[in-house]
């Protein structure tokens, strides 16, 4: 099922995002790189729907994150992933549910997202980037597809091409990302009960900065990184998943004693 976003909602969200832009004292490595827009991320038809025989797309909506205090991409990705399960959580409420671990106040990073999601009483599964052998690309894509075919939206953390990592002087794998987005679906030329990740499987995600859904083939998602203090290389794309680590948290439902 696909959803059309009301124009009034998008205009209000855009206004909030514009009013919340960071000032010079709040420069953050988790905001979009200068000059990058959703339009540039959509170049090459990446925001055009793919005509594929099999798909599973979670019921959520694109939109705009708040951009102050380092950027609320982690909070917004959480909000939209949880929305696919029927609940709405404010971006500030997500930050309020956790502790600081290196970013701007309680900015959502790999080192505090578990605390946030646990306190928000979410039933979730996080990719085990701390224990999985590296490189993790194949295991990560398999984990990601496994949740998307079940209808679980995922908050993933990505690298910006040309940006130096890790961010915030964190110790890898922490800080090996520059943005957080909700991944909301998958399209394939193969039945979705086939667990193999095919090169032409298409991953659908929002950008946190517009009204489009980006479609990326699985074979194009991984980037390269040569070591601490080096820049990520995402090839022909503006962004990629981290390599050698992968970061993702899938919303499966809610952990609450009340039956809603």
Q: The tokens of 93 are what?
A: 């409420």
pLDDT for 22 equals 35
What is the DSSP-derived secondary structure letter of residue 31? S
Is the separation of the CB atoms in 187 and 215 below 8 Å?
yes
The arithmetic mean of pLDDT across residues 117-128, rounded, is: 98
Is the separation of the CB atoms in 176 and 245 below 8 Å?
yes
pLDDT at 243 over 90: no
CATH architecture of 13-23+52-252: Alpha-Beta Complex (3.90)
pTM exceeding the 0.95 threshold for the entire prediction: no
Is the separation of the CB atoms in 196 and 190 below 8 Å?
yes
Is the separation of the CB atoms in 165 and 225 below 8 Å?
yes
Percentage of residues in the chain having pLDDT higher than 90: 78
Percentage of residues in the chain having pLDDT higher than 70: 88
The arithmetic mean of pLDDT across residues 60-83, rounded, is: 94
Q: How far is CA 230 from CA 14, 55, 67, 162, 253, in A?
A: 34, 37, 26, 9, 38
pLDDT for 259 equals 64
pLDDT band at 6 (very low <50, low <70, confident <90, very high): very low
pLDDT band at 11 (very low <50, low <70, confident <90, very high): very low
């Amino acid at each position: 099922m696909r959803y059309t976003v009301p124009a009034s909602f998008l205009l209000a969200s855009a206004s909030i995002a514009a009013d919340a832009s960071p000032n010079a004292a709040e420069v953050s490595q988790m905001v979009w790189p200068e000059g990058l827009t959703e339009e540039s991320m959509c170049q090459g038809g990446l925001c055009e729907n793919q005509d594929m025989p099999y798909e599973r797309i979670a019921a959520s909506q694109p939109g705009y994150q708040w951009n102050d205090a380092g950027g609320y991409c982690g909070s917004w990705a959480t909000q939209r992933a949880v929305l696919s399960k029927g609940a709405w959580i404010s971006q500030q409420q997500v930050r309020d549910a956790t502790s600081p671990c290196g970013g701007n106040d309680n900015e959502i990073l790999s080192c505090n997202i578990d605390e946030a999601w646990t306190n928000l009483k979410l039933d979730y599964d996080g990719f085990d980037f701390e224990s999985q052998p590296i490189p993790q690309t194949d295991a990560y894509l398999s984990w990601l597809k496994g949740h998307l075919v079940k209808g679980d939206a995922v908050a993933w953390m990505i690298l910006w091409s040309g940006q130096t990592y890790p961010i915030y002087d964190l110790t890898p794998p922490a800080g090996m990302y520059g943005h957080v987005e909700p991944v909301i679906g998958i399209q394939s030329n193969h039945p979705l009960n086939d667990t193999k990740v095919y090169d032409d499987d298409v991953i659908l995600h929002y950008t946190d900065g517009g009204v489009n859904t980006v479609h990326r083939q699985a074979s194009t998602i991984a980037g390269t990184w040569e070591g601490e203090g080096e820049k990520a290389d995402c090839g022909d794309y503006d962004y990629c998943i981290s390599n050698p680590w992968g970061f993702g948290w899938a919303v499966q439902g809610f952990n609450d004693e009340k039956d809603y």
